[in-house]
Amino acid sequence: MTTMTEASVREFKMPDVGEGLTEAEILKWYVQPGDTVTDGQVVCEVETAKAAVELPIPYDGVVRELRFPEGTTVDVGTAIIAVDVAGGAAPAAAPADVPETPAQAAEEETEPQGRQPVLVGYGVAQTSTKRRPRKGADVPRQEPAAQALQSELNGHGPAAAAEVAATRPLAKPPVRKLAKDLGVDLATVTPTGPDGIITREDVHAAVAVPAAEPVPQAAPAAPVAAPAAAPAAPVTYDTARETRIPVKGVRKATAAAMVGSAFTAPHVTEFVTVDVTRTMKLVEELKTDKEFAGLRVNPLLLISKALLVAIKRNPDVNASWDEVGQEIVQKHYVNLGIAAATPRGLIVPNIKDAHARTLPQLAEALGELVATAREGRTTPAAMQGGTVTITNVGVFGVDTGTPILNPGESAILAVGAIKLQPWVHKGKVKPRQVTTLALSFDHRLVDGELGSKVLADVAAILEQPKRLITWA
């Protein structure tokens, strides 16, 4: 295991680049051992469950070691790069050196330490941490399992650690959070870590094979054969006919969030088809208005404004469900989420306080949101705190859909493709610009009447956009 004994060597640890995140994947290193770095220089790009983020180093020096290769997922708080702040040259390659794992890092600590808050790009402050004695040294040290518990208890003492050990499985906080997110009971997981500690792999294995053990006891031959044959599938995997893509980062988080939302919030979806010919004419007029010079004006702008007006007229729809307190939390602000498809997966950044913006300000915010998402520069903060969302499936030529709520939000509006269709207008069938809207809402927060009113208001505004003035 690599150790940095020189006082001049600093280790930069993976920071918590988003509220509550526990791990990040190293996408790309911008430096190599021997390179000189300066305070604030970006050394790598990492991807969390929410976004890709560039990490700056917080000191000057020469890179001594990159602890993990690109493509590795690393726990928050784990050292990822070592820098000689005295400016010494990089050491010769040491084949025997092995990157330090989170478990080893925990084993080296002689005193438990609670998790320390960090800022993006700034590691945890250095301390005079004592290291464990080498093998053979007759010095007592705390066992890793006890240390993990002691760290988790934030210094509540050995008695508290013993009490926890007797009542629940051993696992570090990030692993406990992973199990909670995946709905896994740690009491049912078989630990493979040192001293009986449950690892991430153990949790994932429990999800992959939820009922593997009881099956052989229940059935004699035929039923057992089918599950036993399943692991052999990868051996005959034909790479010419199939491609397997690891699900991680944004895609993995989105999948987990959507499953959680779909099975937690009782969804109701209502639909309405509406003539938006007048709205489309207004879009064309606004494109030539000097107030919108340099701004992107499209149907989404007016649809967003229509939803904001509908929320103002029906404020109870803008709320969230507090599961712990069993309360409905009404929001007196609207953080409007816009679902955006990116190469890394679906993300939903939101426009903060969208309700207080003028139409040109809303157009500017939408333009910045979309451009940032396409460039992969959306920050975790931009995706937190949303209250309602719009997803424009019409850009793909789709007429409508039944969207799943963004977790923690009360409603999501799907906008279908706007097409010329035969429509009865002023008593005659004429070609008109028509679209279908779909509103999904959490039935714990929004009953059918309220949801119908919101959807009807959005449709009425898009049919007669002058209501943006009379209703606002």
Catalytic residue IDs: 443
**Cβ–Cβ < 8 Å for 191, 198:** yes
**342 SS3 class:** strand
Could you tell me which of 287, 309, 290 has the C-alpha nearest to residue 298? 287
- Residue 205's Cβ-count burial label (10 Å; 0-12, 13-18, 19+) is middle
CA distance 104 to 26: 20
Q: Which residues of 122-150 are buried (b: 16+ CB within 10 A; e: fewer)?
A: ebbeeeeeeeeeeeeeeeeebebbbbbbb
Q: Which two tokens stand for residue 255?
A: 């999948």
* HSE-CB for 4 with a 13 A CA cutoff: 25
* HSE-CB for 145 with a 13 A CA cutoff: 15
CA distance 404 to 66: 41
One DSSP character per residue, 182-239 reads HT--GGGPPP-SGGGEEPHHHHHHHHHSTTTTHHHHH-SSHHHHHHHHGGGGGGG--T
Given the structure tokens 């013993």, which residue do they identify? 162
CA distance 82 to 130: 18
Given the structure tokens 């508290």, which residue do they identify? 160
CA dihedral 109, 114, 117, 122 (to 10 degrees): 0
**What DSSP designation does 444 have?**
T
CA distance 403 to 300: 17
**What DSSP designation does 119 have?**
B
* HSE-CB for 314 with a 13 A CA cutoff: 21
CA distance 88 to 94: 17
**161 SS3 class:** helix
Given the structure tokens 């460039």, which residue do they identify? 375
Name every residue whose Cβ is closer than 8 Å to that of residue 434 and which is 6 or more positions away in sequence: 273, 274, 275, 276, 418, 419, 420, 421, 423
**436 SS3 class:** strand
Residue-level length of the chain: 472
